[in-house]
């Protein structure tokens, strides 16, 4: 089978590898669609582990079923989570499934940017979900990133009527905008350096958008009934955004660190001025739990969240290096889907 082996963002090689052999409790999935995630192009995050086969936003068909697998059969259309939790440790019991040791050690074989993927037994048990015929494979690739966004907004206390400011309108930021609009949030605001992305943010539910140099408290109060944002979600890895986020959050509000920061990012802010008197909460989120994936799938299945307009283009596996370049440039694309069958 063909596999895209990542050495760095400008060096992704298409090689031939054997189709993985499955064992007891496992599935072999033929990949029909695999989304390029913003984290896939974070070169600094994984360069010391190269070469790698990336790709974790996958949808496809079950083509082989291992012994003792009763819930799936060849021909089933599925999506799969690459990381799954044990659901049986103190982290999982306390609702922090995504910091579970098991979640941090599970993955696909070899990765979603390939023609076939072996799904280990624990992933089959806790992280494979059937797709209705009405849901396309392309839409299925959004289940994993939407699960992450759902978890983040829940941890941040998002709810009807609460105002939200999304810093960074890339794919994760736009998913946050879309979800907030679908869930009946109050004023939805977003920022980005790109006019293209700001236009998309408006299209997907933001009422007001700003360039970074316009993100000043007075400007936010002018459009939000004299208040700053109840929730500020950081979806950009630029070091300066932390200070900006803290200046835009209302007293009693929450700042959610959703995107990974820059490698050397630090928080340096006066505790008394920001936190002690103002009761501002800083929180973070990583990945999505099994239930987050199930809710994400239902939001897509029900039509409550239409994500098809986030897809910019579909490309062949051989075009993946150019796909990474377009995601990095980020000025004319939102979501790029890799289709190994093209």
Where residue 238 falls among pLDDT bands split at 50, 70, 90?
confident
In this predicted structure, the answer to whether residue 71 has a pLDDT above a threshold of 90 is yes
Question: Cis omega before residue 310 (within 30°)?
Answer: no
Q: How many domains does the chain have?
A: 2
What is the model's pTM?
Answer: 0.96
C-beta neighbour count of 284 within 10 angstroms:
16
Alpha-carbon distance 97 to 95, whole Å?
A: 6
**What H or E segment, with its residue span, contains residue 171?**
helix 171-182
Q: What is the DSSP string of 208-235?
A: EEE-GGG--HHHHHHHTTT--EEEEEE-
* Same domain, residue pair 120 and 216: no
What SS3 class is residue 33?
A: strand
> Are 112 and 261 members of one domain?
no
Are 134 and 10 part of one and the same domain? yes
Per the domain annotation, does 152 fall within a domain? no
How far, CA to CA in Å, does 261 sit from each of 16, 177, 178? 35, 20, 23
Structure tokens belonging to residue 341: 């069958």
Q: How confident is the model at residue 267 (pLDDT cuts 50, 70, 90)?
A: confident
Q: What is the CATH number of the domain that holds 8?
A: 3.90.180.10
Q: Distance between CA 125 and CA 272 in Å, rounded?
A: 47
- What pLDDT does residue 276 have? 86
Q: Is the pLDDT of residue 263 over 90?
A: no
Q: Tell me what the pLDDT averaged over the chain comes to.
A: 95
Q: What pLDDT, on the 0 to 100 scale, is given for residue 266?
A: 80
We report the CATH number of the domain holding residue 163 as 3.40.50.720
Mean pLDDT of 33-59: 95
Do 245 and 165 fall within a single domain? yes
């Amino acid at each position: 089978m063909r596999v895209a082996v990542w050495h760095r963002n400008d060096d992704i090689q298409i090689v031939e590898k054997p189709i993985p052999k499955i064992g007891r409790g496992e599935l072999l999935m033929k990949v029909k669609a695999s989304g390029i995630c913003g984290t896939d192009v974070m070169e600094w995050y994984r360069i010391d582990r190269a070469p790698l086969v990336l790709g974790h936003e996958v949808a496809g068909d079950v083509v082989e079923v291992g012994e003792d697998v009763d819930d799936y059969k060849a021909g089933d259309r599925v999506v799969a989570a690459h990381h799954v939790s044990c659901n049986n440790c103190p982290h999982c019991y306390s609702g922090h499934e995504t910091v579970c040791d098991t979640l941090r050690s599970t993955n696909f074989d070899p990765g979603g940017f390939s023609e076939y993927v072996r799904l280990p037994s624990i992933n089959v048990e806790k992280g494979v979900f059937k797709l209705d015929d009405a849901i396309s494979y392309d839409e299925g690739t959004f289940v994993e990133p939407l699960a992450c966004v759902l978890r983040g907004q829940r941890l941040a206390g998002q709810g009807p009527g609460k105002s939200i400011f999304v810093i960074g309108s890339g794919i994760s930021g736009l998913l946050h905008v879309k979800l907030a609009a679908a869930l009946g949030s109050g004023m939805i605001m977003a920022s980005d350096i790109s006019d293209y992305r700001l236009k998309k943010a408006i299209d997907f539910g933001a009422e007001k958008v700003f360039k970074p140099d316009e993100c000043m408290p007075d400007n936010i109060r002018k459009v939000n009934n004299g208040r700053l944002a109840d929730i500020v979600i950081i979806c950009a890895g630029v070091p300066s955004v932390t200070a900006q986020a803290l200046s835009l959050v209302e007293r009693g509000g929450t700042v959610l660190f959703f995107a990974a920061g820059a490698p050397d990012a630090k928080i340096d802010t006066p505790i008394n001025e920001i936190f002690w008197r103002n009761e501002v909460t800083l929180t973070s989120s990583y990945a999505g739990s099994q239930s987050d994936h199930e809710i994400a799938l239902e939001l897509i299945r029900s039509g409550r969240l239409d994500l098809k307009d986030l897809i910019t283009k579909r490309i062949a596996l051989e075009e993946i290096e150019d796909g990474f370049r377009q995601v990095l440039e980020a000025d004319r694309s939102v979501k790029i889907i890799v289709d190994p069958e093209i």
